[in-house]
Copies of this chain bind each other. A is one copy, B any other.
């Protein structure tokens, strides 16, 4: 692993992976940077430059062998294994994440979901029983969980994260529309639909 690779490049690798999966499904064995770029709206030169950080992955004139590059990217992103993660918040969004079929084949599995609402605790979502949030820290520590997904209101997010970091969470996917302080070594990604909508509305008239 080359630790000095800029985060912005790392952030594009999952997109390359997704495009490769699509091309494979469409029956292709090789993909050129141009084809990938067309799917992703990223320039071919940018893609070649990004991938060149990880060695000679393509063949001049033939492009990238899809199976090889897929396996290489999964190795780089540590998704050649399956990571257990927890979801906090069993509202619509949390429930949707538990039921979502697209995680397992991309390296992730929801191991448990937690809520504070006694009306929800004990109910089932798919194969999982909603657990009491008071069991969250124990569960993380015992099972060595590193990834947490926050699907709770903004006002509770900082407190929950502070607790989670103490017991070993180092990666957070945050759906709460708030900025959150995390210590060094803890990575956080935000998903905020309004941010995407505001980019779209720029083009409206």
Contact = CB atoms under 8 A, between A and B. Distances in A.
Contacts of A15: 195
Given A179-B22, A204-B147, A14 B102 contact: no
Interface residues of A, number: 57
Contact of A92 (B83, B85, B92, B187): B92
B194 A108 contact: yes
Given A91-B96, A96-B96, A179-B39, A79 B193 contact: no
A77 interface: yes
Given A14-B194, A194-B14, A78 B201 contact: yes
A200 B188 CA distance: 7
A102 B176 CA distance: 10
A166 interface: no
A171 B147 CA distance: 32
Interface in A147-205: 147, 149, 170-173, 177-179, 187, 189, 191-205
Contact of A200 (B76, B106, B173, B192): B173
B191 A107 contact: no
